[in-house]
Chains A and B, each alone.
Chain A
Amino acid sequence: MAVAEPILANDQDTGQSELAQRLARTWSQPKGLWGWFCNTHHTDIGIRFMVTAFIFFLLGGVLAAMIRLQLIRPENSLMGPDLYNQVFTMHGSTMIFLFAVPMMFQGFGVYIVPLMCGARNIAFPRLNAFSYYLYVGGALVLWGGLLTNTGPDVGWFAYVPLSGPAYSPGHRADIWSQMITFTEVSALGVAICLATTILRHRAPGMTLNRMPILLWEKLVISIAVIFAMPAVMVASGLLLLDRLVGTHFFNPAEGGDVLLYQHLFWFFGHPEVYIIFLPGAAIVSTLVECFSRRRIFGYTPIVVSVVATGFIGFSVWVHHMFATGLPQLSQSFFTAASLMIVIPTGTQFFCWVATLWYGRLQLRLPMLWCLGFFFVFLIGGLSGVMLASVPVDLQVHDTYFVVAHFHYVLIGGALFPMFAGIYFWFPKMTGRMANATLGKWHFWLFFIGFNITFFTLHFLGLRGMPRRVYTYGPDMHWQGLNVLASSGVIFMTAGLLVFLVNVFRSVRVGGIAGNSPWGDAGLEWSMSSPPPPYNFLHVPTVSGRDPLWEDPPDQPVVVGLRDDIRETLVTHSLDADPQHKDEDPGPSIWPFLSALTVSAAFVGSIFTPWAVPIGAPPVIATLIGWLWPRGQSPTPRQTGESWVH
């Protein structure tokens, strides 16, 4: 173990010191095109996740605009049913699987979690990079399908038997199934990386009781992903077997069960909503604390609420299936469970109000988006209470009322916090401030447009307009409201254009941000912006929940980590005591190559079951390359040896 001199945490990292240069050399990622594919650093992979997901958000938005254009008048001939069904299926699938989860869970999580933990890299960095490439593979398969007129047209939920072999010939539903496999393997990989990082790479002193709320939420979501994603992979896998090798899991004519699919799908599908919403709530908790300039009120109730949401989220799935005619007693159980989830969500809302009430609100741009979140998500949450009631749900289920509800929940719960988070961490990611004036224009245009479009949809639902209809008759009197709803798209589009201009402009000419432009408490604000390749000059220790607000100037740092190899610190999962040192595996091309071979096998099995035996050897070969032993084994800590000075 290297001899370490005591160093103070408030040493400014100018990137000039000898140590900084040595660390930069050790931790730097290879350059060039080849290097790009070898990169395994979490900040780079995190930003790639976010940028890719945002591109698919824009593409999904184009599809949404097409839907609104088609419905602008009765008997519109802009799109026929074949194209329209592809468009709304692609819109839903893109927004959920290619945007919301990769952005809110994978992108933000991969970028911010190691920084907040005080770690030099994410755990299992190669698995993390592999997950990114696999996600891109799934996205390309789905959109490649649409561009070759084999876009899935069975809805983002792909209910059987409509998606089965008898009613969906061709490969459209297979493409949907395999896109699920791609994106869910990717989400599972990242969930393992994040949960491990949070449990084993926290800075010494960051006990579970001192963990930032955002890390709590990421931990809960990671565990939810690990339990929820297998259900949908089983559903899509069995569907693929039905279609490809002629099994009859979902074929009622041969004793298969169509409701089995719905149970499997929604056992994933409802936790998915919380997988999308909890990251938003985590961002809001972080920002409310930062911009009310006081410690968040109710740390423990909020954490308990987050954990409770993770649990209850798994016991409400049947409220998507009330109309299937299940027995009334079991329906009442799921009504009660669905109502119960209001309690933890309400707790978080009340704690945010209390924090604002006894704080000192600085209404900077990210906080404006948080206030927008409060308004929008509150409406979505309250209409959700109505939907939990079986009789009301039986009326509004599968109408535009539900469409309005879940756009309020998802855009409110994910998109508004996402923009809040982007404006908040933009300085950390790029080193420059985003323009606040353009950001306000973006906010107001988007907020107004959103409410015009989606508030109107409630009324269309009450007037009986079902979802997923490609057109409607003039005698239904739905045109006026549809025109109003579609007009909101203009404002939202304008808002997004302002955002894009802002990003491209601010990246080049925005004001220099410095380490910590908002005066937030998180460890991610202790290093320069953007973070150096080694993240922390000295792996920090913490003595409270809000490190940068509470830690004394002579807060100790971790010493004894080598600077000539990529050594990381592994701590105890409960009290974050240093346990041993491990070596980060470093950049490698194998994750990319493995993703290629796995993708080939997945894509092949859209067409033939032989893709599994033929595709397996290359996968195994690349995995052998990936797992080839190298480096040293972890160094355990000797009894009585101190790593913290």
Chain B
Amino acid sequence: MNATRSLIAASLAQAMPLDPGRHHMLHAAAPQAGHIEWLYWITFWILFAVFVLMIGAFVRASAKTHVEAIHPLPILEKDEKADRRAGWGVGAALAVTVITLFVILVLSVITGKRVEGLTSQNPVTIQITGHQWWWEITYPNPKADQTVTTANEIHVPVGTPVVVLTNSKDVIHSFWAPNITGKRDLLPGYSSAFWFQIDRAGIYHGQCAEFCGLQHAHMGFSIIAESSDAFQAWQQEQLKTASEPSTSETIRGREVFLTHACLMCHTIRGTDAGSRVGPDLTHVASRNMIAAETLPNTAGALAGWVVDPQRIKPGTQMSPNPLAPDDLQAVVAYLQSLH
């Protein structure tokens, strides 16, 4: 167990720290997040002005009339003139409030329309299904053998609208990549759609935003925005069945995979493993991270995850697999060969 832990520690150390700008709602990389950022700042400055005015009024009112006295002072006589002036002041403040609120309402509705309206007839469509605690990603196609299925890493072409269809297999999750657009709940029993478009190539981070149980904290995903060509190439690679193992170790690894609990939950297309309970592993080696962005996709992390996932994500649906060291090494080698 100690060996596993040090392996995990070592691989964690290798993981590249996430650029703080890759998970920030005020660093927009998409027009949607850009519109919202604009709305955020304009509302912020309006409200900041209101704040300064209100605090100013309170400070002025308090400082102007403040008297030091321990015993209760007599009550001020009714002052018609002061009341009239106060009435004008309150009335004016209310008028300004109503106008300000109306401006914010109009800005908000305009921004809402900009965020929601779809501008292209040829979008890429992605079906995202929430699971406790990972994301199933499919690129639906009328032809079944042209449908790409993967997990937790979403590839999209830069500058092309992407329509996201949502659903959930179990509880409510919420899909959220702050640099891209606002969040959308994945509700069991409801399917809905929204869209986004990414203008800058890069890897953007996202995370589940609706409390979904024990491992809500470890339910991340990434969006990889790349050129149209790279996206096409990636899609073609993903459509292939799993590569045949070529070394004796990977052949043994496949043997281990198919004779242990692994095949109860996972799919590796081209083998007998065809269950859809857990993530599709046909091209697992092509992903950067495993376990919903919890660990880097390295041999050490894979080994630690396969042996004792409950240590890393307590409560996860994957059960521990106490494999013999040779078997473990073989299965990890096999998984790493699945490009």
CA distance A93 to B25 in the complex (A): 29
Q: A382-B50, A468-B211 are in contact. Are A161 and B171 (CB under 8 A)?
A: yes
Q: A162-B211, A395-B183, A466-B176 are in contact. Are A293 and B39 (CB under 8 A)?
A: no
The proximity string for A residues 288-311 relative to B, scoring 1 for CB distances below 8 Å and 0 otherwise, is: 000011110110010000000000
The proximity string for A residues 345-381 relative to B, scoring 1 for CB distances below 8 Å and 0 otherwise, is: 0110111011111111111000000010011001100
Contacting residues of chain B (56-74) with chain A, CB-CB under 8 angstroms: 57-58, 60-62, 64-67, 69, 71-74
Smallest CB gap from B36: residue in A? A391
CA distance A274 to B98 in the complex (A): 21
Q: Which of B89-97, B155-163, B267-275 contacts A (4 or more CB under 8 A)?
A: B89-97
Residue among B87, B98, B170, B171 having the largest count of chain A Cβ atoms under 10 Å:
B171
Which chain A residues border B192 with CB–CB below 8 Å?
325
Q: A339-B104, A395-B36 are in contact. Are A462 and B24 (CB under 8 A)?
A: yes
Smallest CB gap from A517: residue in B? B72
Contact B217 A358 (CB under 8 A): no
Cβ of A276 to closest chain B Cβ, rounded Å = 22
A356 in complex: contacting residue of B62, B85, B183, B211, CB < 8 Å: B62
Contact A349 B54 (CB under 8 A): yes
The proximity string for B residues 70-114 relative to A, scoring 1 for CB distances below 8 Å and 0 otherwise, is: 011111101100110111011001100110010011011101110
Contact A391 B212 (CB under 8 A): no
The proximity string for A residues 396-415 relative to B, scoring 1 for CB distances below 8 Å and 0 otherwise, is: 11110000000000000000
Which chain A residues border B17 with CB–CB below 8 Å?
474-475, 477
Residue among B51, B166, B182, B192 having the largest count of chain A Cβ atoms under 10 Å:
B182
CA distance A508 to B113 in the complex (A): 63
Contact A324 B187 (CB under 8 A): yes
Contact A362 B72 (CB under 8 A): yes
Cβ of A556 to closest chain B Cβ, rounded Å = 22
A339 in complex: contacting residue of B73, B105, B111, CB < 8 Å: B105
Is A33 part of the binding interface, using a Cβ–Cβ cutoff of 8 Å?
no
Smallest CB gap from A351: residue in B? B90
Q: A349-B54, A371-B58, A469-B216 are in contact. Are A391 and B67 (CB under 8 A)?
A: no
Contact A399 B209 (CB under 8 A): yes
Smallest CB gap from A471: residue in B? B217
Contact B217 A472 (CB under 8 A): yes
Contact B97 A462 (CB under 8 A): no
Contacting residues of chain B (153-180) with chain A, CB-CB under 8 angstroms: 166, 170-172, 174, 176, 178
B15 in complex: contacting residue of A161, A358, A464, A475, CB < 8 Å: A475
Q: Is the interface of A mostly helix, strand, loop or mixed?
A: helix
Contact A350 B101 (CB under 8 A): no
Smallest CB gap from B85: residue in A? A358
Is A323 part of the binding interface, using a Cβ–Cβ cutoff of 8 Å?
yes
Contact B217 A81 (CB under 8 A): yes
Which chain A residues border B87 with CB–CB below 8 Å?
298
Q: How many chain B residues touch A (Cβ–Cβ < 8 Å)?
A: 95
Contacting residues of chain A (512-549) with chain B, CB-CB under 8 angstroms: 516-519, 549
Contacting residues of chain B (110-134) with chain A, CB-CB under 8 angstroms: 111-113, 115-116, 132
Contact B112 A391 (CB under 8 A): yes
CA distance A179 to B209 in the complex (A): 27
Smallest CB gap from A521: residue in B? B75
Query: Could you tell me which B residues sit within 8 Å of A by CB distance?
Result: 15-18, 20, 23-26, 33, 35-36, 39-40, 43-44, 47, 50-51, 54-55, 57-58, 60-62, 64-67, 69, 71-76, 78-79, 82-83, 85-87, 89-90, 93-94, 97-98, 101, 104-105, 107-109, 111-113, 115-116, 132, 166, 170-172, 174, 176, 178, 181-185, 187-190, 192, 194, 205, 207-217, 294, 314-315
Could you list 5 examples of A-B contacts with CB < 8 Å? A252-B190, A259-B187, A325-B166, A331-B112, A346-B94
**Interface contacts beyond A81-B214, A324-B187: sample of 18 additional A-B pairs, CB < 8 Å, sorted by A:** A81-B217, A162-B172, A259-B190, A323-B183, A325-B194, A339-B104, A353-B58, A357-B65, A358-B82, A358-B85, A359-B76, A361-B61, A361-B65, A361-B67, A371-B58, A393-B182, A475-B17, A476-B20
- Pairs A-B, 6 closest by C-beta atoms: A394-B182, A519-B72, A252-B189, A469-B217, A389-B108, A354-B86
